[in-house]
């Protein structure tokens, strides 16, 4: 039954989007139903074509936030939490803490020096290499 509800929600959002046109922004709820997180940056939408996902680009652009940074430099954090990864790879990032939480959503929590959450990123569609690359870019060494 949940699959039928999800399918109906997706179909409804698709038809709503058709009525709005390609340039409109969708609500956060509509974007979540399409599988996009509220933290989606528009630069990420450009990467979809590289992974043969160009069909998602219009929806992505309707849900993304403009990249905020006048000099386009990525903000780097001293700490991060990742609630589900096991293995040797996390050991290369001293500021990364792995918390095992049964049923936790696949998210990365970027923390400041006081270990307060500053950003939360949904990574349900990321592969291990993408997560590792992300930490190389966004986690202090």
Q: In this predicted structure, what is the pLDDT of residue 3?
A: 47
Please report where in the chains the tokens 């990032």 appear, as a residue: 93
The rounded distance, in Å, linking the Cα atoms of 100 and 97 is 10
Average pLDDT rounded to a whole number, residues 110-119: 91
Tens-place pLDDT, residues 46-71: 888 888 888 888 999 899 887 655 44
What is the rounded average pLDDT of the residues 96-104? 78
Domains of the chain and CATH, by start: 2-63 (no CATH), 79-138 (3.40.30.50)
Strand partners, 96: 80
59/118 Cα distance (integer angstroms):
26
- This prediction has a pTM of 0.43
pLDDT tens string 28-46: 888 888 888 888 888 888 8
Asked if residues 42 and 64 have their Cβ atoms less than 8 Å apart, the reply is yes
């Amino acid at each position: 039954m949940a699959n039928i509800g999800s399918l109906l929600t997706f179909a409804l959002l698709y038809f709503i989007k058709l009525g709005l046109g390609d340039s409109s922004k969708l609500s956060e709820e509509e974007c979540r139903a399409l599988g996009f997180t509220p933290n989606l940056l528009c630069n990420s939408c450009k990467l979809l074509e590289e992974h043969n996902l160009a069909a998602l680009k219009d929806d992505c652009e309707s849900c993304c936030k403009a990249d905020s940074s006048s000099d386009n430099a990525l903000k780097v954090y001293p700490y991060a939490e990742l609630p589900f990864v096991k293995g040797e790879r996390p050991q290369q990032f001293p500021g990364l803490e792995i918390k095992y939480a049964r049923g936790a959503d696949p998210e990365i929590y970027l923390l400041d020096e006081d270990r307060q959450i500053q950003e939360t990123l949904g990574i349900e569609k990321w592969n291990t290499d993408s997560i590792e690359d992300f930490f190389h870019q966004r986690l202090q060494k």
